Amino acid sequence: MELPLKNGFISNYQVGDKIFQIDELLVFSELSLNGTEGEPESPAKLIESVKRAIRPPESAGTLTDGEAFALAVRVSLAIKELGKDIAP
């Protein structure tokens, strides 16, 4: 399996034997719309936000909550790193 795609905010993430395309900016947007901006996110909100950002959307149905949470942590780390990269 390969993880070659990195296109703007859309990246491939692997969890277990599955690879998912996730729009990192969409995860951030989902969290912001759920009112979690600036607060620690609950696992349920992280899981829901990641599932909504997976492309194609129907592949999100194959995730367990544990896998979705693992992806949420990886995406959160990527978003934090992105913030460091674009900060003045």
Look at residue 1 and tell me if it is in a domain. Answer: no
Q: Is the pLDDT of residue 75 over 50?
A: yes
In whole angstroms, what is the distance from residue 36 CA to residue 87 CA? Answer: 21
pLDDT at site 87: 45
Domain count for the chain: 1
In whole angstroms, what is the distance from residue 66 CA to residue 33 CA? Answer: 23
| Whether the model pTM is above 0.85 | no
Tokens of 63: 């995730």
| Beta-strand runs (E) in the chain | 6-7, 10-15, 18-23, 54-55
Look at residue 8 and tell me if it is in a domain. Answer: no
Q: Is 20 exposed, middle or buried (0-12, 13-18, 19+ CB in 10 A)?
A: buried
Mean pLDDT of 9-30: 86
Report the 10 Å Cβ neighbour count for 71: 25
pLDDT at site 44: 85
User: 88: pLDDT confidence band, cut at 50, 70 and 90?
Assistant: very low
Q: Is the pLDDT of residue 84 over 70?
A: no
pLDDT tens, 28-61?
A: 888 888 765 555 568 888 888 889 889 888 999 9
Tokens 């349920």 correspond to 44
pLDDT at site 66: 93
- Which residues form the domain of 65? 17-86
